[in-house]
Structure 1
Amino acid sequence: MICKNTFKRLFFIALLFVSTTLAAQNTVVTGVVTDAGNKKPLGFVSVSFTGSTIGTNTNDAGQFSLRSAKPYTQLKVTYLGYKDAVVAVVPGKEQVINIRLFPSAQQLNEVTIQAGKRPKYTNKDNPAVELIRKVIANKDKNRPENYNYVEYKEYDKMQFSLSNLSDKISEKKFFRKYKFVFENRDSTSYAGKNLLPIYLVEKLSQVYYRKNPEVTKTVLLGEKGVNFGPAVDNEGVGQYFKHLYEKVDIYTNSIYLLGRQFLSPIADAAPTYYKFFITDTITTADNKKLVQLSFTPRNTNDVLFEGDIYITLDGNYAVQKAGLTINKNINVNFVRSMHVDQDFELNPDGRYHLSKSNTYADFGVSANRKGGLFGIRTLTYKNYIVNKYQPDVLYTPDINLEDDEVKHRSEQFWAENRLDTLTTAESKVYKNIDSLTHMPSFRRTADLVTLLFAGYKGFGKFEVGPASTFYSFNPIEGFRLRIGGRTTPELSKRYYFEGYGAYGFKDERWKYMLAATYSFNAKSVYKFPQDYLRVSFQRDTKIPGQELQFISEDNILLSFKRGTNDKYLYNDQYKIDYVHELENHLSFNFGARKWVQTPAGSLYPFQNGPSTIFNNLTTTEFSAGIRYAPNEQFYQGKLFRIPIINKYPIISLDYTAGLKNVLDGQYSYQKLRARFDKRFYIAPFGFSDVTLEGGRIFGTVPYPLLDIHRANQTYAYVIDSYNLMNFLEFVSDRYASINIDQHFGGFFFNKVPLFKKLKWRETASFKALYGGLGNNNNPALNSSVYQFPTDGNGVPITYALGNKPYMEASVGVENIFKFVRVDLVKRLSYLDHPDVAPFGVRVKIKFDF
């Protein structure tokens, strides 16, 4: 059981993400804007504090809400075709002001003719649309990539805070020891938000761009961030937050935020999906003319923005300022609001470059405006230089500074080079978190939370886990217990050791794995770029066609399987692997393996005739591979890394050679495999993950060495497997496949009130596998190879693909309860095989925004 004090500490961690509303002395105005004639609400009316840049637009119901910590005394309300309105405001108070707008004379005539109806929005003869088309036509010349050379300094600050946390929490007896943390508040930076910073990372970089040949080089000059201690994966947290808050380039067609692809308001197709309105004409302090262009989605359920952009009238039609707000009606989890503000500065040649981009979001479990998490990413650009030639050597990939030097810059360095200022609360967060992590009570609690959520229990130089594999079961081993662990970088950054031991109570056999890894670049073997040599031995069971992984093969959740599941192999693998990654994300791998396979369950024994029996199959292999994943990013942790899927392709090619009479190898053969993966973003229709794969085997081999296609007999939906194919059902010595997994992100369901309220999202998939088997590898035509397995009645259970492909398709719903995906899968071919299901329901667990 968890003791009382430990429970309190766990409660403290959880309570950091729950709070109550804190009243602030701000000017808060809410209300509804209506047509003075017909009393109908007016959507997308511009409402702002007079003399400020703080403004908003009304929603479809005419509602608006404005907040400011400054004592503004007036509201200005403007809408195309209506007279401007200026309304008095009481500063420092919360108030409701409903506003009626009177049509201009010309608009009044139109209203009279149309019996009080507003004119239908159209792109034809619309000056706002004509203006946005000029912006689109001039996009390329207004981007930095239009120059031959560009260089600048980039300051990247990412901060997360608990918002509107009650003052009373620090007075609780248990939390008094942490009072110094709760007192560090910021109530002035964002209207209506009382922020308690808990996470802060700063990075300063020098960026160089060259157009021909195109290359961008970023040199990290300094990095500084909070450290929650060894129990928390600080790098992994940072990479995850950074992925949510990608850099925003308004000149691209799509803008990536929160794992979703938003159509930019100046995308090529923007006039098709957005409504545009000329809201105002502004003269800047240097006497330049700007047009304030407001925009809103035509369909408020689509993954689009709303807001304002300010366009220059100097012939360049450049964006000089932008305010983008995520449309609140779209299907996004836990995000109450998200906003992007961008400012552009003038270059000597009269064009503009991005000088500051500020993205902030309010996260919370509930939709109300109480406590939650408030995240801010601010990017500041200075020392902007264009068309300054730099020698080619500057653009070659290298690492100019060691990580330790970059991460231990002095306070004087940051005071002299920080391109933005820290708030008082931000400046204290480093010291506060450092003090917190040195408190034994906090460290014990964080360690326990890591075990509960990550599955590992840390002991400094090593850790035990994962907890999900401690117990599992299968028909061959029966009840299976396992314990494992691995060393951490605290022991060494060059040497890593990992292993596990397991015991099956039915077969009464021990299974185990031992591995030792040496890192040549003195970095964690989980960090990019990898450069390591690993030696390992593993003795364990596996299902033919399933990859034998060190960690996940005996996860308790995968123990539940459908149909007959008694086709197993005992495996002994002796392996040597070398992996080398380059800075350009091109990687190479080389390996050697001795592999002994022993049949178990209904696969026993191997035989190539009625009387010739083989107790095991021994092979010796040499392998080599190449992989290219341009611009690949990772959720990078101390002891793991998970690729972040983006728009760039991943291409891999692998070669394996079987060596006969080497270390008892029984067969000589060659295998080739190629794979292509890419995510295609189709804003606003979501995205599609596409995988193309092909393979070829040269030589004569028994069926355990053929390509045994990835089947799935669990009740989980597995993206990379055939979910209605039985284990060992199909084998090939040549094959090609396509896998398409489409996520619509609620594009259709958002138009159905019930589904929209539930925030369900649609999915669809299609998988096709073409393949075949040469006469030399077909036991019906060549008696020297192993006979295919049969069931107890002698009916074959393994087949070669014929003239038609294996196909299956699915439709599904994801985001059920925020993390469940359910698919109805239909098998489309080879329905005459025994024990196959034409339909199936499969479930996948995946958290996503």
Structure 2
Amino acid sequence: MKRNIDWKTQWILRVIVILFTMHCSLFTAYAQHTISGQIVDAKTGEPIPFASAQYLGHGVGVASDIDGNFSIVRHNGWQLTFTSVGYVSHTVQINSGIKNVIKIALKTDNKMLKEVTIKTKRGRYSRKNNPAVEMMRKVIAAKKQTDLDNRDYYQYNKYQKITLALNDFKPEVLDSPKYKKKQWLIDQIEACPYNNKLILPISVDETVSQKIYRKKPHDEKIIIKGINTQGINDLFQTGDILNTIMKDVFTDVNIYDDQIRMLQYPFTSPIGKDAIGFYRYYIEDTLMVDKDLCYHLHFLPNNQQDFGFRGDLYILADSSWQVKRCEMTIPKKSDVNFVENMQVVQEFTQLPDGDWVLSVDDMFTELKLANFLQKFAVIRNTRINDYAFDELPKQLFKGTKKEVKDVNAMMRSDEFWNQYRQVELTKAESQMDQFVNGMQNVKGFKWVLFGLKALVENFVETGTKKHPSKVDIGPINTMITKNIIDGIRTRISAQSTANLDSNLFFRGYVARGWNSKKWYYKGDVIWSFNKKEYLPREFPQRTLTFSSTYDVMSPSDKFMHTDKDNVFTAFKWSKVDKMMFYNRQSVTFEREEDWGFRTTLSMKLEENEAAGGLYFIPMSYSSDRSTWTNWSNPIPTGADASAYTPSQKIRTTELRAELRFAPGETFINTKQRRLPINLDAPVFTVSHTLGLKDVLGGQYSYNYTEGSIYKRFWLKSWGKMDFNIKGGIQWEKVPFPLLIMPETNLSYIVQDYTFEAINNMEFPTDRFLSGQVNWDMNGKILNRIPLLRKLKWREWIGFRVLWGELSDKNNPYKDHNIGNPILMYFPEGSYVIDPKRPYMELSLGLHNIFKIIHVEYVRRLNYNELPTAHKHGVRFMVRATF
């Protein structure tokens, strides 16, 4: 657009006048009289901020404040001129008839303004007496007035399109022989309007939804009307993972929120309640946006390495102080990983009642995962329209589910999409099917796809696109591992899919220990009360599971968050020779509600047989072999047969109930397990286990109660803290296998929310309270150190504490328990923790090494006098974050 010299000159003069006024203020103390007042809009009566009051020709002038107030030295005989962009100037002759307090009303200039670009040299930034800051205070205060949640009812329709593309193809590459023979590939490449580069769209996901809201009683729902997904997602049975993650990472933006969740991090909004302290603001100019006069402000973080935005706000130049348009990007110096470029554009539209609402929300992101990999681009277009505020029928809010999918959402016709599609598909997006077919016809592609599926999904399908897999083989990473009992151990696993039956599922494995020469197995039969798209664990899970297992494990294996046969966790920092064989049958009912509440009821029968260096020896043990019943006779490796130790098998029958509440938790379903992707949700869990004696062979009566709380707290630019508190009580007298064992991790691979330096069964207790806090500082310190900050490493601190007590009734070292038939001798390496001396350990870590490596140094802070203690250790894991 052309620059308007008159307006440019006026803004330059305004800056000069303000600076000159600041200089002259040192010499005006002698003035006995001033003229003060307020400059307002003649039509609306609203104050006009930053208007000028000048004695033209005398070099004296001031600017009004955010509320239109001004004060200037009185000079009788001079002419005082009031001006503001978009208004007709007004001149007053200063004489004895003019009062010291006046009100000036300026009329709107109906002449259409052209865009003005003013560039001024910015001095040292200060929030004090800063017109831009004062304006932003008004904007932040005014945002409450147009909050849609103030309405009794509202609804709107939203169309969203997310496109994933390979980015930055060079024209010379397309001229190479290997591309010339693939016309289907060349036809898919197109120019991107956001960066003027050539891109190759590989997937497109469209969603049409309706948001409905009711204030009293409060309720809101999202009704999914239509879903259309095309592209490489179709090649993966779990292709919805890609769309789910992209929607979570590149989520909708609402600058009226105090924190904007993006890239799975909260970014401070430029108009959030903490924005004044986080950002710097500069008034650039005043211009027309469409038909509305707006103030143009530029903003950027105080420290551009923090997770924040840089961009421009266009604020309506009226009393509403509403945002008309917002343009944001991530500063180049920001420590955000993988993002080379990000653009966010939002536009707001005025409703007939005068309120302003979001209508356009577009995002474009360029990603580079590694130098040797092709770059990616993600394009998200969102359009919101059809706002209405009429009373909504009560039946629309029936049920607790926050998101409801129309039964026909996946089968919408072209007529539906022609009606609701607000952003047209590009040529490449509209011919996605031809592109996928072209890929499948490439020689050797099916083997490449086979390898990718095995790597990404950890499972191998047994079907084809025409005949979808009814049984998947995996997990791949459990096929071979080792332990002290079996030596090398091999395993083959499989699970059925909804392609076989959408309600009835089967899964299990068969394993072989080559040293022990034992066969192991597990078989599950699962009935899902709601039909599934692929696997029974899909949310909401409502299943009845019958399970039978015979296997070997370490007591600490139950605390692992992955399969105990995972080859990567087979390497231990401590010798794990205390094992046990278990024969377990169970039936479990699980029901999840749409609002985050889960109920679990189970019944379990189990027989345990000690193995390796573990023995179940009752305190009543007698050397008279004729008194032994239900005993096995393991012989320690290398020991004489006459020196073997007797070990009793134990049998338990138990009922268990668990209640879990995690409001707002969201998941992705992999073929191996279900993973939460939104860890911001608090998690509350309480459970009780009842042991039944003389029921189906159960030998012990016991009651065990446990509860836990998890919560994540974001600390703005200081990263995030995760807190996990857990406590439990074993109420009865029980043998040590039924006592409470600390949740320890004996692997070199980090397992979240476990102790990293406690040995296997080191501190048996019958009541405990543990606390764990992990602080990811997000590079707050390291990224401010010269040279070192180029590495983009991030600090991580973990602290774990365990308060425990072993009551006298369960302490085998107490004299009154000698000969007790219920209690057992503690295994070697188990100790009684001092209830007045909690166990503590500290972890100091670095993550984001090469953007994917997390390394921790673990220091055990006390109980180091124990002969089995490991005072130091190093743990690591692969963890990629933005």
Q: TM-score, normalised by structure 1?
A: 0.83
Matched, 1:514 2:523: yes
- Preserved contact between residue 232 and residue 450 of structure 1 (Cα < 8 Å): no
Question: Is the CA contact (8 Å cut-off) linking 1:318 and 1:351 kept in structure 2?
Answer: no
2:211 pairs with 1:207: yes
Contact 1:603 1:789 in 2 (8 A): no
The residue aligned with 1:155 is: 159
Which residue identity is paired with 2:826? Answer: P
Give 3-state SS (helix, strand or coil) of 1:547's partner: helix
Matched, 1:323 2:356: no
- Corresponding residue for 2:826? 789
Distance 1:432 1:677, change over 3 A: same
1:127 maps onto 2:131 in alignment = yes
Q: Which residue of 2 aligns with 1:279?
A: 284
Aligned residue in 1 for 2:266 = 261
Distance change >3 Å, CA 527–CA 109, structure 1 → 2: same
Q: 1:367/1:299 Cα in 2 relative to 1: closer, same or farther (>3 Å)?
A: farther
After superposition, the C-alpha distances for 1:566-588 in whole angstroms (9 at most, x for unaligned) are 11111111011111111212121
Q: Tell me the distance in 1 between the aligned counterparts of 2:440 and 2:406.
A: 23
- Give the AA of the match of 2:658: G
Specify the SS of the correspondent of 1:413: helix
Tell me how far apart the structure 2 counterparts of residues 720 and 700 of structure 1 sit (CA, whole Å). 28
Equivalent residue, structure 1, for 2:749: 716
User: What amino acid is aligned across from residue 194 of structure 2 in structure 1?
Assistant: Y
The equivalences for 1:425-824 within 5 A come to 425-434=428-437, 436-437=439-440, 441-460=444-463, 461-523=470-532, 524-547=535-558, 552-611=563-622, 614-637=647-670, 640-781=673-814, 782-783=817-818, 784=820, 785-791=822-828, 796-824=829-857
Structure 2 contact 480–490 (Cα < 8 Å) conserved = yes
CA contact (8 A) 1:712 1:718 kept: yes
SS of the aligned residue for 1:753 comes to coil
Counterpart for residue 394 of structure 1 = 396
Question: Residue 99 of structure 1 corresponds to which residue in structure 2?
Answer: none
Q: 2:383: which partner in 1?
A: 380
Write the distance in 1 (CA, Å) between the matches of 2:674 and 2:188: 33
Cα separation, 1, equivalents of 2:180 and 2:553:
53
Match of 1:343 in 2: 347
- Tell me by how many angstroms 1:340 deviates: 0.9
Following the alignment from structure 1 to structure 2, what is the Cα–Cα distance between the partners of residues 640 and 282?
54
Distance in structure 1 (CA, Å) of the matches to 2:175 and 2:496: 41
The answer to whether residue 426 in structure 2 is matched with residue 417 in structure 1 is no
- Aligned residue pairs: how many? 752
585-594 vs 310-319, which deviates more? Answer: 310-319
More displaced 10-residue stretch of structure 1: 184-193 or 713-722: 184-193
C-alpha displacement of 1:668: 1.1
2:259 matches 1:248 = no
SS of 1:528's partner is: coil
Matching residue's letter, 1:374: A
Q: Deviations over 1:649-700 (max 9, x none)?
A: 1111112111111110011111111111111111111111111111122212
SS at match of 1:713: coil
- Structure 1 residues 617 and 136, CA, compared in 2 at 3 Å: closer, same or farther? same
1:275 counterpart SS class: strand
Equivalent runs, 1:819-834 vs 2, <5 Å: 819-834=852-867
| Structure 2 counterparts to residues 183-194 of structure 1, below 5 A | 183-187=187-191, 189-194=193-198
Q: How much does 1:422 deviate?
A: 2.0
AA partner of residue 510 (structure 2):
G
Q: Which moved more, 1:117-126 or 1:681-690?
A: 117-126
Letter in 2 for 1:787: M
Bigger relative CO (Cα 8 Å, ≥ 6 apart): 1
Q: Which amino acid aligns with 1:770?
A: W
Q: Secondary structure at the match of 2:430?
A: helix
What do the CA deviations read for 1:211-258 (whole angstroms, capped 9, x no partner)?
Answer: 233222011111000153454521011111112101111112211111
Return the offset for 1:413: 0.9
Q: Deviations over 1:631-660 (max 9, x none)?
A: 111123466421113422111111211111
Q: Using the TM superposition, give the Cα deviation of residue 615 of structure 1 relative to its aligned residue in structure 2, in angstroms.
A: 2.1
* CA distance in structure 1 between the aligned counterparts of 2:546 and 2:487, rounded to whole angstroms: 30
Distance in 2, matches of 1:174 and 1:592, equals 61
Aligned equivalents of 2:591 and 2:193: distance in 1?
46
Partner-residue secondary structure (3-state), 1:525 = coil
**Secondary structure class of the residue paired with 2:716:** coil
1:442-492 CA-partner distances (Å, limit 9, x unpaired): 333212211134322211221222221121112222121112121222222
Q: 1:444 to 1:404 in 2, by over 3 A?
A: farther
Q: Which amino acid aligns with 2:445?
A: F
The Cα of 1:140 is off from its aligned counterpart by: 2.1
Cα separation, 1, equivalents of 2:398 and 2:356: 28
Contact 2:606 2:652 in 1 (8 A): yes
Structure 1 residues 174, 404: CA separation in 2 closer, same or farther (over 3 Å shift)? Answer: farther
Cα distance, 1:546–1:635 mapped onto 2, change above 3 Å = same
**What are the Cα deviations for residues 319-372 of structure 1, in whole angstroms up to 9, with x where unaligned?**
22111111221222221011211001112332211101011100114689x961
The letter of the residue matching 1:817 is: F
Pick which of 305-314 and 432-441 moved more: 432-441
Q: Map 1:74-113 to 2 at 5 A.
A: 83=12, 104=16
- Distance in 1 (CA, whole Å) between partners of 2:544 and 2:874 is 42
State the alpha-carbon separation in 2 of the partners of residues 813 and 82 from structure 1.
50
For 1:108 and 1:431, the matched residues in 2 are separated by: 68
1:394: Cα distance to partner? 1.6
Q: Which position in structure 2 is the counterpart of 1:847?
A: 880
The alpha-carbon distance between structure 1 residues 316 and 117, as it changes in their structure 2 partners (threshold 3 A), is closer
- Matching residue of 2:79: none
- Structure 1: which 5+ runs fail to align? 1-49, 52-73, 85-101
Hey, what's the Cα distance between the residues in 1 that align with 2:497 and 2:10?
A: 67
Task: Using the TM superposition, name which of 315-324 and 388-397 deviates more.
Answer: 388-397
Aligned residue type for 1:495: L
Decide whether the 8 Å contact of 1:227 with 1:434 is kept in 2.
no
C-alpha distance in 1, partners of 2:325/2:714? Answer: 26
Is 1:836 matched up with 2:869? yes
- 5+ residue gaps, structure 2, are 25-119, 464-469, 623-627, 629-645
Distance in 2 (CA, whole Å) between partners of 1:669 and 1:798 is 22
Question: Compared with structure 1, are the counterparts of its residues 655 and 636 closer, same or farther at alpha carbon in structure 2 (3 Å cutoff)?
Answer: same
User: Does the CA-based 8 Å contact 2:231-2:432 persist in structure 1?
Assistant: no
| Alignment-derived partner of residue 70 in structure 1 | none
Alignment of 1:39-118 (within 5 A): 50=1, 83=12, 104=16
Q: Deviations over 1:729-786 (max 9, x none)?
A: 0122211121111111111111013332111111111111112122222212324233
Distance 2:676 2:370 in 1: 30
Contact persistence 1:207–1:218 (CA under 8 A): yes
Cα pair 1:344 1:355 within 8 Å, conserved: yes
* Greater C-alpha Rg: 2
Is this contact kept in 1: 2:615–2:647, CA < 8 A? no
Q: Residue 339 of structure 2 contacts residue 365 of structure 2 at CA under 8 Å; is this kept in 1?
A: yes
